[in-house]
Structure 1
Amino acid sequence: MMYFSSIFSIFLFEFFVLSTCYQTRFKRDFMLITDGNMTDAKCFEDCQQEYRAKFEYTLNQSLTEFYDFPFHPVVLESSSFQLYCKLSEQKTKCFADKCNDYAAENSFSPSNFVCLFKRTLFEKALKCLAKTEPITFLKCDHECHEEIVRTDRLKQITLNNQNQIFISSELATYETELDKLCRFQSCYMSCMAPVVKEMCGGEESKSAIEIVEAYVQWHADDISDWHSITGNDETLPKSCQSLVKPHSKADDPILQIIGNVA
């Protein structure tokens, strides 16, 4: 659990292996609790547990094994995508009605991104994303994970040779996992683009690449905003800084709304 100023957030970044393909996926679970409801964190957890039960029953998919990036096959199938958005809307309503979190609808989250903010673009890209997902899963997930493992191993060897000692902390652990996530996203974007261009038509491939790039950028903006608000600008990993576009908020009115909410 991370405590930042008067706002605390629960962030979890983890690798998990899907047993059928032995491929690694990043999963990001988070819950934001604002000043207005600091004393009732259980309220948010209750909403999340209610969402979990409905999600797993309705979509026949373990929420633990569901991942936000790259887009999970559940959201790449039209009918299940509609159900996913309906369930996500119910969770957001629970946050507002039971936990007084009226900013949830205008805050960045993976479900808000595909179901609200960029739904039209996502639906245009849906067919191409679904078509290319098996290939990008096998190729890009594997390549990007291996690249991160290799880089981290070399980095650790260098630190050991320099006899550096680090004090473990929740913040340091969080930033380390965040760095891995941003590096994975950057690698994945570069890897998936040529696959999509080869397998989909011009307009379809353009929409698919655009939605993935937009997700990564918005996610990076969200992370950057929270580091700024909580006075932790200096700890934001360089891999995440590189994904933030300086003029993105000025160019996108929805990002301006999200920034104002934050």
Structure 2
Amino acid sequence: MKKTFKIPMSILMVFAIVFSALNLSVFAEEKESNDEYNFELVQKDDNIVIAKATHENGDELYATLDKATSEITLEAVEKPKGLLKFGDDKTTKYIVKAETIDPALDVVDVTIIDETTKSELRISPEYVQAQLPVLVPVVTWGGRALLLWLMEHALAMTIAGITAYVATDLISDIRKSNKNYWPAWIRNNNVYIGGDAFDTDYQAVGWVKTANSGEYNLWARTEAKAKEAANKAAGTNVWHQGKPTDGHYDHYHPAKPLVTDPWVVKLDNHLWY
């Protein structure tokens, strides 16, 4: 008669805990996909926007945009792993230095800095997912996508290190300002205005003269100032009527005068007001 050997339950539990504690992500690359995590808005008002991503393994990532300072931060909350999930949550806070977060063009170029260790993580078009350090997995799986989602729902974008907001959020403040010009861009039939004005009119005109491009535009406090900047940038101007309900606004284009018909060459820059 054969003997039956029984393995005590306590030993089975030890094996289960040991194997579940292994970081299985080293065997399979964790791809960034909306199928792996869910987004939600935690808070959205005139002062702050907070978005949250929850990974399928329970980890959480929070992204915050402070509209008053245009500061962007991340907070990663890593849940205990293993069969019994013993231990406390691990929370890590990061500062986001953004060069570009452009939801319309799906472009992210940021440096994420650990507030405690000061270690840096670069996410940009040149740095693919496979090259990112595994030291901060909760940031690598959700950081890029969550930052895009945050800015999209905040009606904001960052370009050339400047955080801009949809025009309707800033127009009333601009009309009360003693500044004259703000950098501006157009995305998805909306005009976005940089939160900080140019210190001088000379700087603003220089911004327009950077290139004949729809990426170097201004929002002017008054129509007179818009026309003035257009003339200074290229010699004369062309006026276009807008339709604010569709995200378009009355504006001028800088134009170079010609001595023959058609008399002017319109440039691509916009000067809204």
Calculate the TM-score normalised by the size of structure 1: 0.24
* Structure with the larger strand share: 2
* Structure with the larger helix share: 1
Calculate the TM-score normalised by the size of structure 2: 0.23
